[in-house]
Amino acid sequence: GAGVSQSPSNKVTEKGKDVELRCDPISGHTALYWYRQSLGQGLEFLIYFQGNSAPDKSGLPSDRFSAERTGGSVSTLTIQRTQQEDSAVYLCASSSIASGTQYFGPGTRLLVL
Residues that bind other proteins (CB under 8 A): 4, 29-31, 33, 35, 42-43, 45, 48, 50, 56, 58-59, 91, 93-107
User: Before 61, cis peptide (omega within 30)?
Assistant: no
CB of 50 or CB of 66, closer to other proteins: 50
Q: How far apart are CA 3 and CA 94, in angstroms?
A: 9
In angstroms, what is the minimal distance from the CB of 99 to other proteins? 8
Shortest Å distance, C-beta 27 to other proteins: 15
**Cβ-based nearer residue to other proteins, 21 or 29:** 29
Label residue 42 exposed, middle or buried (CB < 10 Å: 0-12, 13-18, 19+).
Answer: exposed
Q: Which is nearer to other proteins, 38 or 80 (CB)?
A: 38
Element (H, E) at 54: none
Least Å distance between CB 16 and other proteins? 27
Output 5 or 80, the one with its CB closest to other proteins. 5
In angstroms, rounded to a whole number, what is the distance separating the alpha carbons of residues 44 and 81? 20
Q: How far is the CB of 48 from other proteins (least distance, A)?
A: 5
